[in-house]
Structures are given as structure tokens and as C-alpha cells.
Amino acid sequence: MLAFLAQAPALPAEIPLFPLPETSLFPDVSRPFLIFEPRYREMIADVLKGDRIIGMVQLRPGFEKDYEGRPPIYEVGCAGIIEKYEQLEDGRYLILLRGLTTFRVLKEDGSPARKSYRLARVTPLPDVVTDKDRTTLSALRTQLQKLLITVLPLDAQLPDASVDDAEFVNIVAQNLEMPEAARQALLERTSVVERARSLVAQLEKQ
């Protein structure tokens, strides 16, 4: 992790949105992205001059007919901060994005003249873990580990033992194969404990 991330910045009241067909980011988890569309290359160039924060949101079904415009999105997404980036010779960006917090979209800026990409006013929905939650979360992690061993391929690797329980849950939520509707539902859970309980329930059904 880069030094400037030692203390994560507060989520701004307004952030740029990066809508994708899938739920692509969870808190405390890093993921690479290749940015190639001109509007999102502009977005990356802008945020690199400031706080490096963008909001990842999932497009609602049927987005294809208005993809170049402003198709509907789910209201809950995950804000991420750019940890590393590289601009390629053709103008595209390779970025490593780390999840900060889930958020709810309150209102989008509807002015197309302001930016080529979408901007929205948001409110954070942080995962707060109490001391009581930590005990519950630890037990749920143990359940998850046992269940994952039974459903994953033999050569699959579980998240490193050094990651804390909340990060473990979010890594599984982001990477486990499942329908995107189920992944979005996990992101929208009110706490990481509830997210862990939902994952356990999903895996027990398998």
C-alpha cells in the first residue's frame, strides 16, 4: 500500500461515477482496471489531480440501449482510491483501485456540459465493526473458510491468513463466482457481518 493511503481520505460529497455491467469493487479490496473510453480517461486525468477517488457502480439490466448516455444504475456502489497508475502511450490508463467505503447515490449532476463522465452527490455507508461484531465476524470467517474448501477447485487459494476478518469477507464477496444480482445484494448489506452471514448462507446452499 502506498504511503499516501496510510490514512484514507474522507469521502467527498460529490464524486465521479464509473458504471460497469458488474459489481466490481468492495471495501478494503484492490483490483486493476484498464481505462480506455475517452470519457473515463478524462475522469482519471481529473481525479489524479485531486483526491484520486472514483465511485464504482453497477449498471441496471437493459443498459446496452443507452450505454453511451446515462443508463440507470444501482444506487449503492463502492468508492475506491487509485493506489497506482500508468498512462500508456495511446492514452489509456492502467490503474489499481482499492475500495474505501460503500456509498449511496443521492443525486446525479444532470449537466452534460460540465463533464463527459457522470458526477453524483453521495453519502457514505461505512462498515462499522464493534468489539461484539469482531467475535461474530471471526466465527463467520471460520465457517466461510470451511465452506470454501468444499466448493472451490483443489488448486484455488484462499485469501492470505494475514488479512483481517472484514477484508477476508470482502475479498470473497468480490471474487467468488456468483450471479451479479447476488454480488450487488452483498454490497448493499448494512454491515460486513451481514455480508458474511449472506455468504455463508449462499455457500451452504451449494
Residues 6+ apart with CB under 8 A from 203: 144, 147, 148, 150, 151
Which of 125, 146, 162 is at the close of a domain? 125
In this prediction, residue 157 carries a pLDDT of 75
Pairing of strands 53-58, 76-87: antiparallel
Do residues 23 and 43 share a domain? Answer: yes
State whether 77 and 171 are in the same domain: no
Question: Is the domain of 106 the same as that of 200?
Answer: no
Last residue within a domain, chosen from 125, 147, 178 = 125
Same-domain check for residues 113 and 136: no
CATH number for the domain including 81?
Answer: 2.30.130.40
pLDDT band at 113 (very low <50, low <70, confident <90, very high): low
**Do 16 and 117 lie in a common domain?**
yes
Q: Quick one: pLDDT at residue 151?
A: 80
Indicate the number of domains in the chain: 2
Average pLDDT over residues 171-187: 94
Question: Exposure of 110 by Cβ count < 10 A (0-12 exposed, 13-18 middle, 19+ buried)?
Answer: exposed
Where among 125, 157, 190 does a domain terminate? 125
Q: Is the pLDDT of residue 29 over 50?
A: yes
Q: Which domain holds residue 143?
A: 131-205
Clarify whether residues 120 and 135 are in a common domain: no
Tell me the residue length of the chain. Answer: 206
